[in-house]
Amino acid sequence: MQHTSKMNLICNKKWRWVALKSFGKELNPVQKSLSDALFFRNDGTFEKEMYGQLKFKGKWAFNTDSSKLDMAITEMNGQALAGMALGESHPTDSIMRLTKDTLIIAKLAYFGPKNIYGHDDWYYVKEK
C-alpha cells in the first residue's frame, strides 16, 4: 500500500485500543477505562490519551516503506518532555493491518529467557 493511501487511512480519526494479543498468548479485550486512544494528524503530530487522564503529544512518521511507525512523545499533560527525537531511533512498531476502521500495531521485542524475537499485537478500532 502506498504511503499516501496509508496516510489517508490512519490520519484524522481517533483510534481506540480494544484488545491485546501478547506474544504466544490468546487475544484479550481491554477495558475501555484502561484503554488508550490515538489521534494521528497529517502534519506528523499525534495525541495519545491514557486512562482518560494522561494526555500526551508527540511526533510520528512512517518508515521509508510505510510498514512501521516511529513515534516520539514530546509533551505530557502540557509539560514538555525531554527524550529521543523522532528519527533518532529505529521504528519498531510494525503495522500488521490498516483499514478504514481497524489498526493493528505489532510491538516487536525479545521475549523470555531464551530471547525469542516476536511481537505483542495491539488492536485499535476507529472510534465513532
pLDDT tens digit sequence for 23-61 = 999 999 999 888 999 999 999 999 999 988 899 999 999
Answer whether residue 1 shows pLDDT above 60.
no
Q: Which three cell numbers stand for residue 49?
A: 490519551
The phi, psi pair for 32, rounded to 5°, reads -55, -35
**Continuous H helices in the chain:** 3-10
Q: What average pLDDT does the chain have? A: 89
Answer whether residue 89 shows pLDDT above 80.
no
Q: pLDDT: is 4 or 24 the higher one?
A: 24
pTM: 0.86
Q: In which band, very low, low, confident or very high, does the pLDDT at 4 lie, cut at 50, 70 and 90?
A: confident
Cβ neighbours for 31, distance < 8 A, ≥ 6 positions apart: none
Low-confidence winner among 10-24, 50-64, 74-88 (lowest mean pLDDT): 74-88
| Core vs surface per residue 15-44: b (16+ CB within 10 A) or e | bbbbebbebeeeeeebeeeebbbbbbeeee
- Other C-beta atoms closer than 10 Å to the C-beta of 95 total 20
Q: What angle do CA 99, 102, 108 make, to 5 degrees?
A: 100
